[in-house]
Homo-oligomer: A and B are copies of this chain.
């Protein structure tokens, strides 16, 4: 399987840390994958796929690959035949918890119709590889 390379630093849009972070995480899905790994204790593709937002399979595959290539997620094979993998946050990925906490606080304060996270959240401790 050919894997696309992560954009090297020289190709970043600018030296700004916000722009650099958005190069990796600036879309509607990536931080939801991080959320599920961090707060819900999910590890496997089908668990991540079952989230209420209904992430399309091809997007989930792409985002997990990009997170792995960028060093936020480590992939580990848990079954040999057929090969199956689980996904674990690295410290780099886990430390997004501070960003996610501020997003949660902002969203709960300002977005109408937004309440607390769905049931099941925060029950599992954050797992890192």
Within the assembled complex, what's the spacing in Å between the Cα atoms of A32 and B21?
11
Task: Give how many A residues have a beta carbon under 8 Å from the other chain's beta carbons.
Answer: 51
Give Cα A102 to B102, complex, Å.
8
Whether A96 contacts B106 by the Cβ 8 Å rule is yes
The reply to whether the CB of A12 lies closer than 8 angstroms to some CB of chain B is yes
A16 at the A/B interface (Cβ < 8 Å)? yes
Question: Chain B residue with minimal CB distance to A17?
Answer: B107
Asked whether, in the complex, the Cβ of B92 is within 8 Å of the Cβ of A98, the reply is no
- Asked whether A14 and B118 contact (CB < 8 A) given A9-B112, A99-B102, A102-B102, the answer is yes
User: Which residues 21-71 of A sit at the B interface, judged by CB distance below 8 A?
Assistant: 21-24, 26-29, 31-32, 35, 51-54, 71
- A15 close to chain B: CB less than 8 A: yes
On whether the beta carbons of A32 and B54 are closer than 8 Å, the reply is: no
With A9-B112, A103-B21, A112-B9 as given contacts, are A16 and B52 in contact (CB-CB < 8 Å)?
Answer: yes
A18 within 8 A of B: yes
Contact across chains for B20 and A31 when beta carbons are under 8 A apart = no
Residue of B nearest to A23 (CB): B28
Contact A111 B20 (CB under 8 A): yes
